[in-house]
Amino acid sequence: MIRRHLPVLITLAVFIVGYLICLAQFPSFASTRVIGNLLTDNAFLGIVAVGMTFVILSGGIDLSVGSVIAFTGVFLAVTIEKYGLNPYLAFVLILGIAALFGSGMGFLIHTFQIPAFIVTLAGMFLARGLCFVLTTDSIPINAPAYGQITDIAFRLPGGGRLTFIAMVMLITFAIGIVLAHFTRFGANVYALGGNRTSAELMGVPVRKTTIRIYMLSSFLAALAGIVFSFYTSAGYSLAATGVELDTIAAVVIGGTLLTGGYGTIIGTLVGVLIQGLIQTYITFEGTLSSWWTKIAIGALLFAFIVLQRGLSAASLRTRSA
Amino acid sequence: MPAATEQPQLLEIRGLTKGFPGVQALDHVDFTLHAGEIHGLLGENGAGKSTLIKVLTGVFKRDAGTIRLDGQDINARDPADALSLGIGTVYQEVNLLPNLSVAENLFIGRQPHRFGLVRTGEMRRLSEELLTGYGLDIDVANPLSTYSVAVQQIVAIARAVDLSAKVLVLDEPTASLDAHEVETLFKILRDLKSRGIGIVFVTHFLDQVYAVCDRITVLRNGRLVGSRPISQLPRIELVSMMLGRELAAEALHRNQRKAVTGEPLVAFKDYGKRRLLEPFDLAVRAGEVVGLAGLLGSGRTETAKLVFGIERADSGQAFVDGKPVRIATPRDAARLRFGFTPEDRKTEGIVAELSVRENIILALQAQRGWLRLLPRRRQEEIADRFIKLLDIRTPDAEKPIGLLSGGNQQKALLARWLATEPRFLILDEPTRGIDVGAHAEIIRLIERLCEEGLALLVISSELEEIASYSDRVVVLRDRRHVRELSGSEVSADTIMTTIAGH
């Protein structure tokens, strides 16, 4: 039982140790303000990471999410500001477009048996290119609805705020957990990651599941894009470059095996928070360049991949014993 | 067992025909399975057993013929479709999902649910109930991969039967099980039989056929040779049906065992690796065959891997010609002129896409280093010599080795090492998964090599076989070399009792 959850437990331990180190140096880390900001600043990353976890669990990868986030921002800015579309209608539209886009990628991956890497790489260029078709400028979004939504927040004791977008992230994680662990769809995702051929022989609907996985990923990327536009109040074609890689890092640090089949959604949440923690620490430190975030995440990612190799080798040994 | 034949016909295959480019894999084959019958399907490699099963379960499309289940014509599109029609298949390599829990493996796609959510507790309870019927009391919440192949196979059977299978096809289910596990499996098969399920049992082990089957159908070269109740089929006749020639008695002839004397060619003292194998002593002289016997997982293959440097020993010393040597990698071993044909041909031995010639010269070329390419003519000479010498049946040396039968692949692997002119050769299960005829040939080959002065270490699960060609037999149990048998002690009976620990 403990062995099964070892990767998640290690991730959790890394987070707790990291948090305690931060706390020792900067006592204000205990304040709800810092915690609230940690959640708010990483909301969009967390949302897209939920989708990415499903993709990686199934043995795939989705490189298009960063571009989808940028496209979402640009789409919202252009439709709301230039064409005066109702923001809520724009949200529904972009979520629908993204879902279609994702199911298209899933369809191609399944039907032509093309590696997900290639299909989503094409999707990444496509979505990024479409941003520039809509606009090359950074367009600020000033719609009143934006102000109203960003004002929604729970006041936490101690002056912190649990913002609307942080709540969206937490709800996304809750739904993701239920979806992964308590539905047939979730079991099918794990089955695909375990062994695609066996899954097919056992009657798992491979085609339907693959399409839904990429649909979910793109849908959540668009949701992350909406959240990101609240956060920045703008749409910009060059936004969120490399977010797909941050997301993959968060998922892997969260204990999900890149080869698929093993991992949890809750682990991904902790993975996202670890990244956020490093970033916050560097902000507090003040003297370090923000690129140190990347270096720390790189080192951590490396350590986790080595750890995963070690764990799977160890479990192989115990089985043959 | 006359009772079985009185049962109604469950599965009726008539005139089944299937061809591949260049091969007629099945040629008007008939096959009848009754309810409540265990029906052995036997034949040499290439006889058409796998093709028959694959056509039956919808992996291949048939060219001609009819398949009737319960009197209805059926035509399975794929294995999932076959399963829904009532034909479940359990393969040697269990086709389940190792990362999911046992319960999920049993119920995937039909999990009990409420409001779109899977009722995990209910699913576990049902799984436990189901497995108790098979005498299996395990924690169904654990991932399948935490259990042995035997348990996984029982889970696969339970799943297939629970999905309303009327026909259960078992494709070499016992190949990787030990004797006790096989007995458990047979108990389950007999139980399923009494519940009226028809079972098709494909295997290479004749003992098991006689232990459990009611009726036997033999195929040869894609044609039906015959189908008979087991009570009317003496063993010797079965073998001759399979081989199409009367060599059964000769297959396991026994040589006069000689006591080889002289200094050992290779010797290992206190050689071992922690958590892999207890330290052991082993010596092999030139012209001697030493057998390694034991159950699966007893440390036979581990011994071979240590000796060949695939695993690095952490204790003891190796000697060649009485001089201490270091064997830390397979390269070291090859330099000392050791050879090794691994157990798992498909993943560790042959390179399926390369030609027979390329496979044969692989080790020799590696030994020379890749910068000193063997001239093409020399390669062809070597390949042709061994194809003739070992009687490797292939139209020519350029055919991809993956298209050859198991026995011929095995001979090509042997040729690969013989080409390097080894002094010490390790054979891990040289007769696993190959047909009876090729068995006899491999055994004769082993004896010939030994007469030519090679030192041989041979691992085999077939006790009769190992007793027939070994000068000495080392018996392993629980990752330890427990006893060395020599002279008149070497017999299948003594090996068996030593393995059992009496």
Structural domains present in chain B = 2-99+143-249 (3.40.50.300), 252-337+422-502 (3.40.50.300), 353-420 (no CATH)
Chain B nearest-CA residue for A179: B117
For B109, the 3-state DSSP assignment is coil
Determine which of B77, B92, B100, B102 to mutate to test the interface with A (most A C-beta atoms within 10 Å): B100
Quick one: tokens of B50?
Answer: 């796998």
Chain B residues whose CB is inside 8 A of the A319 CB are 145-146
Buried b (16+ CB within 10 A) or exposed e, A153-187: beeeeeebbbbbbbbbbbebbeebbebbbbbbbbb
For A19, the 3-state DSSP assignment is helix
Select the more confidently predicted residue: B98 or B250: B98
Q: Using an 8 Å Cβ cutoff, are A78 and A135 in contact?
A: yes
Average pLDDT taken over every residue of chain A: 90
Of B363, B358, B301, the C-alpha closest to B338 is B363
Of A139, A114, A110, A136, the C-alpha closest to A232 is A139
Listed range (A287-296, B18-27, B61-70) with the worst mean pLDDT:
B18-27
Contact A183 B118 (CB under 8 A): yes
Contact A200 B80 (CB under 8 A): yes
Confidence of residue B244 (pLDDT cuts 50, 70, 90): low
Confidence (pLDDT) at A102: 97
Q: Using an 8 Å Cβ cutoff, are A70 and A133 in contact?
A: no
Nearest to B100 among A191, A319, A321 (CB): A191
Contact B275 A317 (CB under 8 A): yes
- β-strands B289-293, B455-459 pairing: parallel
Helices assigned H by DSSP within B202-337: 206-212, 235-243, 248-251, 300-307, 330-335
Contact A262 B99 (CB under 8 A): yes
Quick one: tokens of A47?
Answer: 């949302």
Quick one: tokens of B363?
Answer: 């080790």
Confidence (pLDDT) at B431: 76
Contact B118 A204 (CB under 8 A): no
Nearest to B80 among A193, A203, A262 (CB): A203
Chain B nearest-CA residue for A58: B99
Chain A residues whose CB is inside 8 A of the B297 CB are 320
Q: What share of chain B is helix, strand, coil (3-state, %, to 5)?
A: 40, 25, 35
pLDDT at B80 over 50: yes
Chain B nearest-CA residue for A204: B109
Select the more confidently predicted residue: B316 or A3: B316
How far is B342 from chain A, CA to nearest CA, in Å? Answer: 17
Confidence (pLDDT) at B433: 61
Select the more confidently predicted residue: A158 or A91: A91
Across B426-450, average pLDDT: 77
Contact B108 A319 (CB under 8 A): no
Contact B108 A321 (CB under 8 A): no
Confidence (pLDDT) at A316: 55
Confidence (pLDDT) at A44: 95
pLDDT at A156 over 80: yes
Quick one: tokens of B90?
Answer: 């359990």
Across B236-264, average pLDDT: 61
- Mind listing the pLDDT tens digit for each residue in B334-377? 888 898 888 766 666 778 788 888 888 888 888 777 778 888 88
Contact B83 A203 (CB under 8 A): yes
- Mind listing the pLDDT tens digit for each residue in B127-165? 999 999 888 889 999 989 888 888 888 899 999 888 877
Chain A residues whose CB is inside 8 A of the B99 CB are 190, 193-194, 261-262
pTM of the model: 0.71
pLDDT at A96 over 70: yes
Listed range (A21-30, A31-40, B98-107, B238-247) with the worst mean pLDDT:
B238-247
Confidence of residue A320 (pLDDT cuts 50, 70, 90): very low
Confidence (pLDDT) at A201: 80
Confidence of residue B296 (pLDDT cuts 50, 70, 90): low
Average pLDDT taken over every residue of chain B: 83
Confidence of residue B24 (pLDDT cuts 50, 70, 90): confident
Distance CA(B221)–CA(B29), nearest Å, equals 11
DSSP H or E segment with residue B198: strand B198-202
How far is A119 from chain B, CA to nearest CA, in Å? Answer: 26
What's at B459, amino acid-wise? Answer: I
Backbone angles phi, psi at A50, to 5 degrees: -60, -50
Select the more confidently predicted residue: B177 or B359: B359
Backbone angles phi, psi at B471, to 5 degrees: -80, -35
Percent pLDDT > 90 in chain B is 27
Of B245, B31, B462, B468, the C-alpha closest to B237 is B245
Chain A residues whose CB is inside 8 A of the B97 CB are 190-191, 194-195, 198-199, 202, 261
SS (H, E, C) B340-352: EECCCHHHHHCCC
Confidence (pLDDT) at B275: 74
Nearest to A187 among B104, B116, B142 (CB): B104
Determine which of A202, A212, A312, A316 to mutate to test the interface with B (most B C-beta atoms within 10 Å): A202
Q: Using an 8 Å Cβ cutoff, are A267 and A7 in contact?
A: yes
Distance CA(B408)–CA(B132), nearest Å, equals 43
Q: Using an 8 Å Cβ cutoff, are A102 and A55 in contact?
A: no
Quick one: tokens of B55?
Answer: 């056509």
Nearest to A184 among B83, B113, B143 (CB): B113
- Mind listing the pLDDT tens digit for each residue in A171-210? 999 999 999 999 999 999 999 999 988 888 888 889 999 9
pLDDT at A3 over 80: no
What's at B46, amino acid-wise? Answer: G
For chain A, domain boundaries: 31-311
Q: Which residues of A touch B (CB under 8 A)?
A: 4, 178, 182-184, 186-188, 190-191, 193-195, 197-205, 261-262, 315, 317, 319-321
Name every residue whose Cβ is closer than 8 Å to that of residue B377 and which is 6 or more positions away in sequence: none
Chain A residues whose CB is inside 8 A of the B142 CB are 4
- β-strands B215-220, B23-34 pairing: unpaired
Confidence (pLDDT) at B274: 82
pLDDT at A69 over 90: yes
Instruction: Enter the DSSP assignment of B75.
Output: -
pLDDT at A54 over 90: yes
Distance CA(B154)–CA(B131), nearest Å, equals 8
Across A123-135, average pLDDT: 94
Q: Using an 8 Å Cβ cutoff, are A53 and A176 in contact?
A: yes
pLDDT at B248 over 70: no
How far are the Cα atoms of A104, A137, A169, A227 from residue A224, in angstroms, in the given order? 19, 21, 9, 5
pLDDT at A61 over 70: yes
What's at A101, amino acid-wise? Answer: F
For A203, the 3-state DSSP assignment is coil
Chain B residues whose CB is inside 8 A of the A262 CB are 99
Select the more confidently predicted residue: B262 or B470: B470
Backbone angles phi, psi at B365, to 5 degrees: -65, -40
Q: Using an 8 Å Cβ cutoff, are A76 and A90 in contact?
A: yes
Distance CA(A40)–CA(A168), nearest Å, equals 10
Contact A202 B80 (CB under 8 A): yes
Across A140-152, average pLDDT: 88
pLDDT at A4 over 70: no
Distance CA(B245)–CA(B239), nearest Å, equals 9
- What is the total residue count of chain A? 321
Chain A residues whose CB is inside 8 A of the B118 CB are 182-184, 186-187
- β-strands B289-293, B472-477 pairing: parallel
Contacts 24+ apart (CB under 8 A), B110-116: B111/A184, B111/A187, B113/A183, B113/A184, B116/A183
Select the more confidently predicted residue: B469 or B32: B32
Sheet (strand B223-229) strand order: B87-90, B167-171, B198-202, B38-42, B215-220, B223-229
Confidence (pLDDT) at B252: 46
Select the more confidently predicted residue: B452 or A106: A106
Helices assigned H by DSSP within chain A: 6-25, 32-41, 43-57, 65-77, 87-111, 116-134, 144-151, 164-182, 184-194, 196-201, 206-232, 243-253, 265-285, 291-320
Backbone angles phi, psi at B278, to 5 degrees: -65, 150
- Residue B15 has a CB neighbour count (10 Å cut-off) of 13
> What residue has token string 């270096």?
A295
Backbone angles phi, psi at A250, to 5 degrees: -60, -40
Confidence (pLDDT) at B250: 43
CATH of A31-311, one of 2.60.120, 3.40.50, 2.60.40, 1.10.3470: 1.10.3470
pLDDT at A1 over 60: no
What's at A22, amino acid-wise? Answer: C
